[in-house]
Amino acid sequence: METFGQAYPATFEVDRAERIANWRPLVQWLLAIPHFLILYGLQLVARAIAIISWFAILFTGKLPEGLANLLCLYIRYNNRTWAYAGFLREEYPPFVFDTVAPDPGNYPRVRTGLAPELEDRNRLTVGFRLILAIPQLIVVAVVGVAAFVVFVIAFFAVLFTGRWPEGLRTFVVGYVRWITRVEAYVGLLTDAYPPFSLE
């Protein structure tokens, strides 16, 4: 996951669960409903913050740290919720709202690494960010259809065997990793263009 010789400033990792209880695919999404409700509110706040960040960067060339940390909170909470609802892990995610960029480690099996760029931002690419992101959004939507199909297959695999098939798990985790990078780019946490990659 290299971008111009450096690691991309948004990462996602999930430790592999050796075994998932067979009943979990049936109800884990239901158990995640409280997190989805919170996530909906965080998403609304994150979209508003992205707009404020857009103006802040255009006028000052800087991303205020407080705004960046709130966007990091949203991306991290989103990843934790979907990793649980998608039965990649059995441990229930904590209701924590740490407004810090690095992952605080309070859900250690699911990690979202974010390193926002605060200074010397590229005002030109920020100004046209949504237009520049269109190719990413199109490809992510197409890959998302494949990820949904893979997820349905994994649902039955876990239901009957208690295990995620490694190839399917790798694909789904890679897709969430890609979404994480796109969220960081569209959310203005970085000016580095996300790679077209599941790695």
Q: How many CB atoms lie within 10 A of CB 155?
A: 16
Q: What integer pLDDT is reported at residue 148 of this predicted model?
A: 96
Cα–Cα distance measured from residue 169 to residue 155, given in angstroms and rounded to the nearest whole number: 11
Look-up of token digits 């959004």: 137
Measured CA to CA in angstroms, residue 44 lies from 70, 128, 155, 164, 182 at distances of 12, 22, 30, 32, 17
Give, for all 199 residues of the chain, the pLDDT tens digit.
Answer: 333 345 899 999 999 998 999 999 999 999 999 999 999 999 999 999 999 999 999 999 999 999 999 999 999 999 999 999 999 999 999 999 988 888 988 999 999 999 999 999 999 999 999 999 999 999 999 999 999 999 999 999 999 999 999 999 999 999 999 999 999 999 999 999 999 999 8
Cα–Cα distance measured from residue 61 to residue 190, given in angstroms and rounded to the nearest whole number: 12
Q: What integer pLDDT is reported at residue 7 of this predicted model?
A: 85
Domain boundaries, the chain: 2-186
Task: Name the pairing type of β-strands 10-14 and 110-114.
Answer: antiparallel
Is residue 150 a contact partner of residue 168, using CB atoms and an 8 Å limit? yes
